[in-house]
Structures are given as structure tokens and as C-alpha cells.
Amino acid sequence: MDCIQYGSTEIHYEIVRGKRKRTVAIRLDPQSAVTVLAPKGLADGKIRMIVHKKARWIIRRQAQIRELSQAYPGKQYINGESFPYLGRHYRLKVTQSKAAQAPACGLRGGRLRVEIRAGLSGKEGRTAVK
């Protein structure tokens, strides 16, 4: 993984070389990782220059991504949470059963119902529902 310094910020990026003819693309993911897609023959120094030239844009976009991820937290997989399914939103109903060996899921009574094994801790239960 390569790194450049832009002001007081370090930008770590990974170079992925491919069949691109002449263009370079910079891709950001929700974990703030930076991937540079570049042609096979392009020198590392040239890629470093391109990343440095786009550093302000990268930092701004990373801040926006962080902001959005805080505004829209991930699913918790708990009772009452809403999930889209077949074009509609359904509320989740989790039930625990001693007879359940594996999690079972179905749409009944206008709810998305999931049955899990009884006695699972909160984290184990969420993982089973997921």
C-alpha cells in the first residue's frame, strides 16, 4: 500500500493495474480505502502525482462518506426494524424457539418473521437473524 502526505493528512492508497488503455480512476469505499485503477504500463511516480493532484478531492469525499455512514447506521437486526422485500417494507419480528435448529425466515401476517434457537446472546442472535 502506497501513501502520500497532503498537508497534515496521509492518504493511503492501493494500486490495481488492469487493461485500461490510458485512463486512471480513483475509487473510494465506505471504509475510506482508496483504490487507484491504472493501466499496466503507467509508472508509480505518475500515479503518485495523480493522487497528489486529486488529494483535496479525496479528503473531501472521505469526509462526506464518514458523514453519511454516521447519518445512516447499519442494520441492527432487532424486532421492529424495517427491511425492504419485494418492493415493500416489512417490520422484522424475531422469535426464539427451543425447537429451532437453524434460523427460519418467512413472510407472515404482514411481518418478516425470523425464528432462531432460544438462548442465543444478543450478538449471536443478530448474527443468526442476519
Q: How far apart are CA 71 and CA 115, in angstroms?
A: 30
Q: How far apart are CA 20 and CA 38, in angstroms?
A: 6
Hunting for cell 421492529 — which residue is that?
80
% of the chain at pLDDT higher than 70: 100
Give the number of other Cβ atoms within 10 Å of residue 20's Cβ. Answer: 15
- Which one is predicted more confidently, 6 or 124? 6
- Report whether 34 contacts 45 (CB < 8 A): no
Q: What would the mean pLDDT of 2-14 be, rounded to a whole number?
A: 95
Q: Which residues contact 74 (CB under 8 A, 6 or more apart)?
A: none
Render pLDDT for 49-88 as a digit per residue (tens, 0 to 9): 999 999 999 999 999 988 888 777 778 888 899 989 889 9
Q: How far apart are CA 121 and CA 130, in angstroms?
A: 14
Q: How far apart are CA 88 and CA 66, in angstroms?
A: 28
pLDDT at 97 over 90: no
- Report whether 117 contacts 94 (CB < 8 A): no
Name the grid cell of 119: 438462548
Q: How far apart are CA 83 and CA 118, in angstroms?
A: 23
